[in-house]
Structure 1
Amino acid sequence: MSSPSKAEFSVPHFKASDYGTFFLAGGLSATLSHGAMTPIDVVKTRIQIDPAYKRLGIVTGTRYVIANEGPRALLTGFGPTAVGYLAQGGAKFAGYEFWKVQLTKLAGDQETAIQYRTAIYLTASSIGEFFADILLTPLEATRIRLVSERGCANGLVGGFTRLAREGGVGQLYAGLLPIICKQIPYAIGQFTVNEWCHEVAQRSMTDEQKRTMGTVARLGVNLGSGIIAGFAAAVLSHPADTLLSQINKGHGPSGSMVYRLTTLAKEAGFRGLFAGLGPRMIMTAGLVSSQFLMYDAIKQALHAPKGLEIHKE
């Protein structure tokens, strides 16, 4: 007698308009959160690449910037940050939703999908982030150039034009490999850890608690999951974030990107690669948690469908 077949896993069938809504919600949440964090990012980048800031923290670094350059310096790079993460955030969130559905269908049944849910999260976030990084890289290069080289240009258009004129496409995409090395671990921490935190929270509640959970409790779970995911994203991606800042500053030897990254990593050492991690953990926890909160709120406001959940009960 043949063994009973596994139950078919029913997955949502999202339309193109649904993915368009996911893109809009992800883009808005990313650009709003990253734009708000611009002052912290300015100080973090200075700590990574400027010897004058090497021993400073987020508070003392902020005071140093204001004292030497004025308060407006804390908004350096706001333009490329807002535009870059509008495109990147949209592609990342919509891509994650898309590939999670496709990989779940590929699993074939509910039991297999749940068994390999971590692999699904890892793969979906990695693929979605890869394509998002192609959109982000030239704008991130412009942002870092504006932050690290005072007075190099007036805003987004001027900085982007100067980079394109001086180095062409090669200069604009010089940071593609390190940004992929940075952003894919970031996305893995952001989405995978967030999924696991939500699953742990749900498994700790009874069916009655799930049914009666109010807005405040739901907000607490979402916020806590986002903060933990943000810490994970910061730690996983910080070494590559440091190298990306160095590459866009023009540091390191000539040669292939792999050789330059390897050399810079050796020169920096373990402590150097994690310089500025404290400020970035604070920044990333705020970024990730606020992004998830805004992403869900915008989707609800636009009457978008819920994303696929494959948590283990």
Structure 2
Amino acid sequence: MIYRSEGIRGVFFGWSPTFIGYSFQGAGKYGFYEVFKYLYGDRLAPNANKTLVYLAASASAESLADIALCPWEAIKVRMQTTLPPYAHSLREGFIKIVSQEGYAGLYKGLYPLWGRQIPYTMVKFATFEEAVSAIYIFLGKPKESYNSFQQTSVSFLGGYIAGIGCAVVSHPADMMVSKLNSDRKAGEGAGQAMTRIYGSIGFRGLWNGLPVRIFMIGTLTAFQWLIYDSFKVYLGLPTTGGH
């Protein structure tokens, strides 16, 4: 329907805040994860359960990464979920939000964003690490016995498995974030707005569009790990997971 009415431009509408926002968020998420994983797992609690380290490191990394993502996500969601569109470009959306609501308007979805993204990332990284370990156990050889191409292939498969779990866990919060950014009334508190929106869409409404999100997030996550680990191999670093 979008393609018929708006053409290919309609399918890619809102790409610029998505590109910028998730570039910042991805850099923060993956970069800080490596830092916190080392800090928690090697320095502060070397004997801690690995899964707990993965969960703590990913939660810490995502909380910082979302601060960089939130303004761009606010613009993107308003562009994509309102009719007629709230804005037709990144620049127009930024100016419009700031002029109407101040810079605070760019961050009014931060708490719901944390509610969506932190559990999402915790599942993403912990599931990926465990999936990769399980794949190598299934293959019957240690990770180091495989070449870089084979290891990045394992990363791709582990990423897709992790992406499916992410999509399911984060979908209700993602739905609520979209509704808050497009349907929150002036002066309405976040809790009040969420109560009103939930009363309108119900529990079933929180899961609307889940199959599409599973396909999108599964594919996205798989390619994220493939690109990230390919870059690490290029730098002479080990691939992620399995250790």
Give TM-score, length-normalised by structure 1: 0.71
> Residues 117-156 of structure 1 correspond to what in structure 2 (within 5 A)?
117-149=50-82, 150-156=84-90
Q: 2:214 aligns with which of 272, 281, 306?
A: 281
Against the structure 1 CA distance between its residues 89 and 210, is the aligned structure 2 distance closer, same or farther, given a 3 Å change threshold?
A: closer
Q: 2:19 aligns with which of 65, 68, 82?
A: 82
Find the counterpart in structure 2 of residue 50 from structure 1: none
Structure of higher CA gyration radius: 1
Against the structure 1 CA distance between its residues 158 and 252, is the aligned structure 2 distance closer, same or farther, given a 3 Å change threshold?
A: closer
Distance in structure 2 (CA, Å) of the matches to 1:99 and 1:265: 35
Asked if the contact 2:113–2:177 (Cα under 8 Å) also holds between the matched residues in 1, the reply is: yes
Structure 1: unaligned runs, 5 residues or longer: 1-63
Find the counterpart in structure 1 of residue 135 from structure 2: 201
Answer yes or no: is 1:106 the counterpart of 2:49. Answer: no
Asked if the contact 1:181–1:240 (Cα under 8 Å) also holds between the matched residues in 2, the reply is: yes
Matched residue type, 1:106: L
Answer yes or no: is 1:271 the counterpart of 2:214. Answer: no
After alignment, is 219-228 or 130-139 more displaced? 219-228
Find the counterpart in structure 1 of residue 193 from structure 2: 260
Shift of 1:210: 4.5
Find the counterpart in structure 1 of residue 109 from structure 2: 175
Shift of 1:102: 0.7
Distance in structure 2 (CA, Å) of the matches to 1:218 and 1:267: 47
Question: What do the CA deviations read for 1:255-293 (whole angstroms, capped 9, x no partner)?
Answer: 321232233234322210010111011000011000000
Provide the secondary structure at the position in 1 that maps to 2:108: coil
RMSD: 2.1
Provide the secondary structure at the position in 1 that maps to 2:96: helix
Distance in structure 2 (CA, Å) of the matches to 1:93 and 1:236: 20
Matched residue type, 2:94: F
Aligned residues: 241
Answer yes or no: is 1:92 the counterpart of 2:29. Answer: yes
Against the structure 1 CA distance between its residues 263 and 153, is the aligned structure 2 distance closer, same or farther, given a 3 Å change threshold?
A: closer
Answer yes or no: is 1:293 the counterpart of 2:226. Answer: yes
Distance in structure 1 (CA, Å) of the matches to 2:22 and 2:63: 14
Report sequence identity in percent.
33
Find the counterpart in structure 2 of residue 58 from structure 1: none
Shift of 1:169: 2.0
Find the counterpart in structure 2 of residue 53 from structure 1: none
Shift of 1:163: 1.1
Find the counterpart in structure 2 of residue 72 from structure 1: 9
Question: What do the CA deviations read for 1:72-113 (whole angstroms, capped 9, x no partner)?
Answer: 1111111101111111110111111111111112114xxx23
Asked if the contact 1:93–1:128 (Cα under 8 Å) also holds between the matched residues in 2, the reply is: yes
Matched residue type, 1:285: G
Shift of 1:212: 4.4
Provide the secondary structure at the position in 1 that maps to 2:102: helix
Shift of 1:300: 2.6
After alignment, is 219-228 or 146-155 more displaced? 146-155
Asked if the contact 1:254–1:260 (Cα under 8 Å) also holds between the matched residues in 2, the reply is: no
Provide the secondary structure at the position in 1 that maps to 2:237: coil
Asked if the contact 2:229–2:240 (Cα under 8 Å) also holds between the matched residues in 1, the reply is: no
Against the structure 1 CA distance between its residues 168 and 66, is the aligned structure 2 distance closer, same or farther, given a 3 Å change threshold?
A: same
After alignment, is 211-220 or 231-240 more displaced? 211-220
Structure 2: unaligned runs, 5 residues or longer: none
Find the counterpart in structure 2 of residue 247 from structure 1: 180
Distance in structure 1 (CA, Å) of the matches to 2:66 and 2:90: 18
Q: 1:231 aligns with which of 153, 161, 164?
A: 164
Larger RCO (CA within 8 A; separation ≥ 6): 1
Find the counterpart in structure 2 of residue 306 from structure 1: 238
